[in-house]
Structure 1
Amino acid sequence: MYPKVSVALITYNHEKYIRQAIEGVLIQTYRNIEIVVADDCSTDRTMEIVLEYKEKYPEIFKILKTEANLGPAKNFRKLLHACDGDYIALLDGDDFWVDPEKLEIQVNFLVKNHDYALCFHQARILKLNREAAFGEFIPPKRETTPLEYNIEDVMNDLFMPTASVVYRNGYYKEIPEWFEELIVCDKPLHLINLINGKVKYINKCMCVYRVHDDGIWSTKRKLNTIKFDRNKVKMLQYFNDYSNAKFNEMVYKAIKKCEFRILLNSIKTLVEKDDFYINIEEVNIVGKKIRNFLKDKKVYVFGTGTAGLNVKELLDYIQIPIVSFIDNDLSKKGKKIDGIIPIDSIEEIDSTQDIYIIVGSMYYEEISRQLVDLGFLENRQFTMYLDLLITIDN
């Protein structure tokens, strides 16, 4: 007998998308499934459409109804408690599966590999804010284990599109009540599952993940980012208690990265004179800590992209001058940021001086190896920008 799979389908006002979501499940070659639908009192025709399918396929549909809108977190918790399959496949009502063998591939992998708690796969990202535009989601590569990730990666914002995830059921007796205080609930779910195993990435595109104006990021991005990171700090603290501090050091570092992002986005918001509420006292306390760490050093920023320019905004705010930017793209050498700060190559920087390099780039692993090979000392002379508060505290 094939193990049972619960497809956990969460919906709210997905009238335009829900048929495509359900049809993507019905085309699956893996047949031992139940489709558990948790609709959060949609005000459109979502439930009408779902009930049409239940009438056609009564043996596989389980419909959870609510008398009043619960909100996404409570609805998600209710949905997971109703899933009794051996494996659970996550699906939002505005996403859809495109490969008929998706469930078969993922379930077969988990059946054969008991040290993995969950697996996910490549996805297409469909952005609908203005014009339909497709992009590809591929997670960052790891040199040692390129298709394998762990709980620390998830804490550090490894993104797994919801519709791509299948996990082994039974790692929790119930979803903790503190889920209901969270903005996004799939990350803490993954953390709870990964107490007991690893993550496998399957390099095959088998779903489409929609980004549109009704999503969680539909309002002003910086405010959402600040709120999200504050809420993530709360989630990490709850998870640390839940796991009996088993991953205490990882949690501490992840929280410090959130605090640094909050600082960056708060400063960006202040600079642009937006109307968001920002905790000025918090910004100034953390800013002073960074200033005291850097004030007697010659400071360089490695990277001229978005992250590097965000670091510049922070350093401008706390009045720390930048000697120069550094970039491995030699075509940028000699140019200037804002017409003032030069862009140099790393070979021009003397590692024997009292300097500090803040790496504002997604390619930190490669850059850190390059810097170490040139005689620079990690943490003492350089660090990744998101790790700056961790470095200062240590």
Structure 2
Amino acid sequence: MNTPPLVSLIIITMNHEKFIKQACVSAISQTYPNYEIIFLDNASRDRTFENAEKVLSKFGQHYEMIRNTENFGVAKNINIAVSHASGEYISLLSGDDWYTEDSLSEKVSYIQKNPIDFILSDGYKYYQAEDKTTDAYTPKEKKHIIDSLDNFFHENVSENKTANVGTFVKRDLLVQYPFDESINTEDWDMNLRLTSKGFKIGFIDKKLFYYRILSTSLSRNWKLMKDSYEKVTYKYIDYIKADKELYKKYRLKLIHFKYEILLSETTSESEKQYLRKEWKKEKYRVKYKNPILFFKLLMLK
């Protein structure tokens, strides 16, 4: 009987003292028989490392624990962890998220049956503050992702439309094309980089992860998100500008960041009301070139 391929399950974490046990328990509870765990703690100031060690010490297979003495960005941490990994495949997990028990087995089965190089999947979003779980995608969103996989780069180059939790990728690709350490949205950047080079992405229509959303999540930091958005899209700006619809989406996204930042910087309700009106005007100027139609729609709103 052939030995199934080795998978390196990489956990990247920082100050996840309250959540790391759940992530680690999900990691050691996988039904897949042949995997290692590479754990990297990004200089946490709490008991994240100690709490993780208690759980991972119960793992019956190889695991390695790395503890940074200084703080690095997520992309650099993943690159470090990949350099310690021995698996044919890499599966990425943040210390505040967690996997279903069949996550690795489903991914290995899928990638071996299909001519693809890396995988995303369906899953859940868990809102910590509200203690609420929702689907990661609406049925419409998921159908669009699945139907447009062959055109993934074009569909995602002006805006990230996927929940990149539990990304599963051939290790050789991450060695040859490491994560860009200057970018915070490293997962979106990796998806575009690989698909732009012709590598194939797959999507498993099964719920294989839980994505924890915190009030401190990067997605709530509009300035950082704008910076990352501009850095990623700058790499493909000629491609974006060459397509009218893509360029329109790109401009609308920049307007979105502009006003979210301005709204986050004021507590005045009158100022917020004014900004929302200005946001609407700018948005419609980009969306509708016909001035008469533009003002009619604006009045309706």
TM-score by length of 2: 0.78
Cα distance, 1:82 vs. partner?
Answer: 2.3
Give the partner amino acid of 2:49. Answer: M
Letter paired with 1:262: L
**Which residue of 2 is the match for residue 81 of structure 1?**
83
SS in 2 for 1:76: helix
Are 2:218 and 2:225, in contact at CA under 8 Å, matched by a contact in 1? no
SS at match of 1:150: helix
Match of 1:132 in 2: 131
8 Å CA contact retained: 2:82, 2:174: no
Name the CA shift for 1:72/1:172 in 2 (closer, same or farther; >3 Å). Answer: closer
Q: Does the CA contact (< 8 Å) of 1:267 and 1:313 recur in 2?
A: no
Paired with 2:75 and 2:114, the residues of 1 have a C-alpha distance of: 30
Alignment-derived partner of residue 93 in structure 1: 95
Q: Secondary structure at the match of 1:41?
A: coil
Amino acid at match of 2:296: S
**1:324: which partner in 2?**
296
Take 1:190 and 1:324, find their aligned partners in 2: how far apart are those partners? Answer: 40
Match of 1:4 in 2: 6
What SS is found at the alignment partner of 1:163? coil
Distance 2:114 2:41 in 1: 33
How many residue pairs match? The answer is: 280
Task: Find the aligned partners of 2:161 and 2:69 in 1 and give their Cα distance.
Answer: 33
The match for 1:312 is 281
Match of 1:232 in 2: 232
- Determine which of 35, 50, 53 is the counterpart of 1:51: 53
Structure 1: where are the runs of 5+ without partners? 241-247, 276-306, 326-336, 344-394
In structure 1, what is the Cα distance between the partners aligned to 2:206 and 2:220?
A: 28
Deviation at 1:53, TM superposition (A): 3.1
1:180 maps to 181
Shift of 1:10: 0.4
Correspondence for 1:350:
none
SS at match of 1:125: strand
**CA deviation string 1:300-322 (max 9, x = no partner):** xxxxxxx99955344579xx662
Q: 159, 170, 173: which one pairs with 1:171? A: 173
How far the C-alpha of 1:264 sits from its partner, in A, is 4.4
Structure of greater Rg: 1
C-alpha distance 111-144 of structure 1, shift in aligned 2 (>3 A): closer
2:273 counterpart residue number: none
Distance 1:203 1:309, change over 3 A: farther
- For 1:103 and 1:251, the matched residues in 2 are separated by 39
Q: CA, structure 1 residues 154+117, in 2 after alignment: closer, same or farther (shift >3 Å)?
A: farther
**Offset at residue 198 of structure 1 (A):** 2.2
Between the aligned partners of 2:173 and 2:114, the Cα distance in structure 1 is 16
Distance 1:170 1:316, change over 3 A: closer
Q: AA paired with 1:53? A: V
Distance across 2 between alignment mates of 1:182 and 1:30: 32
For the pair 1:107 / 2:108, whether they are aligned, the reply is yes
State the AA in 2 paired with 1:263: I
Distance 1:251 1:83, change over 3 A: farther
> Shift of the alpha carbon at 1:188?
2.2
Find the aligned partners of 1:263 and 1:342 in 2 and give their Cα distance.
Answer: 21
Q: What is the alpha-carbon distance in structure 1 between the residues aligned to residue 52 and residue 113 of structure 2?
A: 34
* Cα pair 1:118 1:165 within 8 Å, conserved: yes
C-alpha distance in 2, partners of 1:213/1:273? 14
Q: Which has the higher contact order (CA 8 A, sep 6+)?
A: 2
Q: What runs of 5+ residues in structure 2 fail to find an aligned partner? A: 267-275
Aligned counterpart, 2:73: 71
> Tell me, what secondary structure is at the counterpart of 1:170?
helix
Q: TM-score, with normalisation over the residues of structure 1? A: 0.62
Cα deviation code 1:204-235 (max 9, x no counterpart): 1121101102321344x4x344333223234x
The verdict on how the C-alpha distance between 1:89 and 1:190 changes in structure 2, with shifts beyond 3 A counting, is same
1:28 and 1:101 in contact (8 A); partners too: yes
1:9-20 pair list within 5 angstroms: 9-20=11-22
1:141 alignment partner AA? K
Are 2:259 and 2:279, in contact at CA under 8 Å, matched by a contact in 1? no
Q: Let me know the Cα RMSD of the aligned residues.
A: 3.4
Identify if the C-alpha distance between structure 1 residues 120 and 315 changes in structure 2 by more than 3 Å, giving closer, same or farther.
Answer: closer
Change (3 A) 1:324 1:308: farther
Matches within 5 A, 1:180-259: 180-194=181-195, 195-219=197-221, 221=222, 223-234=223-234, 236=235, 249=239, 257-259=249-251
CA contact (8 A) 1:39 1:64 kept: yes
Q: Which residue of 2 aligns with 1:119?
A: 119
Identity of aligned residues (%): 21
Correspondences of 1:277-288 after superposition (within 5 Å): none
Give distance in 1, aligned partners of 2:165 and 2:133: 16
Q: 1:134-181: per-residue Cα shift (whole Å, max 9, x none)?
A: 22112442399367662323324344333332122212534457x121
Say which SS state the counterpart of residue 7 (structure 1) adopts.
Answer: strand
Structure 2 equivalent of residue 282 of structure 1: none
Given the superposition, is the C-alpha separation of residues 187 and 91 from structure 1 closer, same or farther in structure 2, using an over 3 Å criterion? same
Higher helix share: 2
Comparing 142-151 and 43-52, the one that deviates more = 142-151
Q: Contact 2:160–2:188 at 8 Å: present in 1 too?
A: no
**Do the aligned partners of 1:4 and 1:86 also contact (CA within 8 Å) in 2?**
yes
